Amino acid sequence: MLVIAKKITLTFLLSALIITGFVIGIRSCLSKYDEHSALPPVLYFKNDSIAILFSLVKFSKTTSYSTKGGFTNKSISNHYYSQTNSALTGEKIAASEIEEVKAIKHFPEVVMGAAGNNAWIFLNGLMAIDAFSLRKFADVKIIENINPVLKGMMPEEGHYYHFNQQDKNILFTANDGVEWILNTTTLKALPNVAVAKDDIGDKVKLAQKALQDLQEMNSSRGETATNQDTANGRWTGLYSGEEIRQLNVNVSFSAANQRQQRRQLYTSTYSKAVSNFLIDTAGIQNVNPATYFLDAAFLRNKETGKIIRLANTDLLITYKSRIGSTGEIILAAISKNGVVTWIFDTSLSEWIDWTCKGNRLLIFGKDNKLLSGKECNILLSVDLQSGLTKKYDYFTDTSTP
């Protein structure tokens, strides 16, 4: 009996090993078709000891696939993770799966904004995650318990929620059509009292609308860049010879739309008129006639709408490596006399998102053809004083010095 028992046990163990090996083998084959990507915007947080980036990462796990005629069809299941990376080095710090989200009912998945230490997202419902601990701070049930009047009234679709970048609170329309403001610190909600239109000046409303447009996720580098800068009484422009001859006397921060133009740095003075600022067009000078930049412009910070300026007297510009949609975006710092201090080729033909925090420019894009839409796999952390850059790839989970 003992011998028989040993044989049965051995058979069972061998069968288990074979099955385990078979499952591992299948998973190994399937994993070749898995996809990892970050869903922008990526949020910046800083405390006394560390500066981090919070991202919502989608892991598309392949469950089956078939290949025919050079094309691969696959079935996937999506898993979502909270992830943090160092804002300085780009290296991953931590990641935690958002367990309660198994299938998305309403697309798209939305990263709404940062408030205090919390990242607010919409993922099958409103929720907030502590960026430093990756623990859940709030969800619909928690908010309803604090605000019993909202029981069953919070909408299930993300477009009914709006994160206010100025006061960091959330405006939402309840299921009965009543508007509420959710305080993202206390989690208490109050009915929204509309401000009379006359209480806000037209210029303020236009500025708020312009900033909101700038912060939209479909705002590309070309749409948000500008070709003029004004600081300390000096006007600086990036234009081709043809564009400078046609330049309007009024200071304008609209982007020049001729993408194939080879531009140079020009400078002059400007003065205040009755309702605008005027460029001294007669005093415009070409700073460095020997240096050209293709499709060059000054970059604006999407969070503030302001032109990104370096801590020293250099100027930050972006330009393209070649004409056409495949031209790579290049960053350069140049002195006011047109001398290039440093150059960095981002190797990206388009940026999905970017933000500037202190002396660091954080750029998000993709160079992986498997990804689509606004999914990104590349994080670049650029030191604006030196041009030295750290890179992290969400798809491969690797950092490059």
Higher pLDDT pick, 113 / 108:
113
- What gap in Å lies between CA 128 and CA 137, rounded to an integer? 5
Domain contains 362: no
Give the separation between CA 214 and CA 254, rounded to whole angstroms.
12
pLDDT at 313: 83
Residue 332 lies in a domain: yes
Contact partners, residue 118, CB within 8 Å, separation at least 6: 128, 129, 130, 131, 137, 138, 184
Encode 294-324: b = buried (16+ Cβ within 10 Å), e = exposed: bbbbbbbbbbebebbbeeeebbbbbbbbeee
Task: State the pLDDT at residue 301.
Answer: 86
Please state the domain count of the chain. Answer: 1
349-377 per-position pLDDT tens digit: 999 999 999 999 999 999 999 999 899 99
32 is a domain residue: no
Confidence band, pLDDT 50/70/90 cuts, at residue 15: low
Decide if 231 is inside a domain.
Answer: yes
Question: In this structure, is residue 246 part of a structural domain?
Answer: yes
Report if residue 279 sits inside a domain. yes
Q: Is residue 379 situated within a structural domain? A: no
Q: Name the 3-class secondary structure at 18.
A: helix
Mean pLDDT of 307-317: 90
- 160-188 pLDDT, tens digit each: 999 998 899 999 999 999 999 999 999 99
Runs of H (alpha helix) within 163-277 = 202-215, 221-224, 241-245
Residue 264 placed within a domain: yes
Length, in residues, of the chain: 401
Q: What is the pLDDT of residue 46?
A: 96
C-alpha span between 380 and 53 (Å, rounded)? 12
Mean predicted confidence (pLDDT) in 207-229: 68
- Domain assignment of residue 267, given as a range: 218-351
The mean of the pLDDT values for the chain is 86
In the predicted model, is pLDDT for residue 242 greater than 90?
yes
Nearest to 367 by CA among 341, 347, 342, 390: 347
- State the pLDDT confidence band at 271, using cuts at 50, 70 and 90: very high
pLDDT band, residue 14 (cuts 50/70/90): low
